[in-house]
Amino acid sequence: MEGHARCVIVADSVTHAPLPNATIFDRHGNAIAICDSNGKMPYISDSSYPITVRYLGFNDGLVSASSVDTVFLKENFSELPEVVVESRRHKVMHILAYVREYSTLTTYTDTVFLFREKMVDYMLPSDKNVRFKGWSNPRVLKAKSYYRFTNGNELDSVSDKSNYHFSWSDWVGMPPIEKLPEKILNGKCSNDTLFGKYSPTEIWVKSDDKVTVDVNVLADTASRKWVPNLSGFFRRRLDFENFRVRYRYADIVADAVSPTDLTGYSFNI
């Protein structure tokens, strides 16, 4: 039986870096194979050609014959359009967001620095009676990661892949609806500090219709309400040394802040 026996690699057309786990479709559009972690294509029968190679974030690659050694895919740079979900009853709110992350992992021998950019979205039902639960954690739509590795001899290397996973940005999501402290309700420019068991836990600052709240999550167990998606980590007694979150709101006309008013948030763990 004739077929594709040579080693064919699926790679980025610019960097020539292998693309792991690319999906291969036969001439009829059926998924027939997946490349390995090194981008190597498995055996493909000649009768399956022409084949289509697909990889998330890249344009499809069409291969008409089994005589090629490398399939180069071109990255798709299409930008996400703004999405507006409209409804007379406004039961669901769809939020698109851009996330930038800087993280560092230190082991006994190595230090790994991560820079990651992501487009994410949230789907927040405004009616508790709706069966659709949505999600308040950021769902990743597209991401790019860059790692810098430094060993004990201070030798550096850079890559877009790593065997370490030490990101927290997928767990810090939308905050709940919270009432404004009474001290800042009526003032145009005012502030208030709420104390936890050992230290200040919430610092509220209001300027016209804009509100900023800085939360020290570790100052009091009640402060964990601001990061409800991380409750499981606290129950497992994960030892945080520092956990602070800042939320920024705009167009505040009511006595509470909600995800509808949120313009951005940042955190430091």
pLDDT tens digits, one per residue of 12-69:
888 787 887 788 888 877 778 888 877 888 888 888 889 989 876 678 888 887 778 8
Q: What is the pLDDT of residue 72?
A: 92
pTM score of the predicted model: 0.62
Q: What is the pLDDT of residue 2?
A: 42
Question: Does the structure show a pLDDT above 80 at 245?
Answer: yes
Per DSSP bridges, beta strands 31-34 and 23-25 are antiparallel
pLDDT digits (tens, 9 = 90+) for 131-140: 777 888 899 9
Distance of CA 35 to the CA centre of its chain: 25
Q: What is the pLDDT of residue 39?
A: 84
Q: What is the pLDDT of residue 56?
A: 66
pLDDT digits (tens, 9 = 90+) for 98-109: 888 888 888 888
Determine how many CB atoms are found less than 10 A away from the CB of residue 83.
9
Listed in sequence order, the residues at least 6 apart from 56 whose beta carbon sits closer than 8 Å to its beta carbon are 142
Binned at pLDDT 50, 70 and 90, residue 94 comes out as confident
Q: Which of 218, 208, 217, 198 is nearest to 265 (CA)?
A: 217
Binned at pLDDT 50, 70 and 90, residue 4 comes out as very low
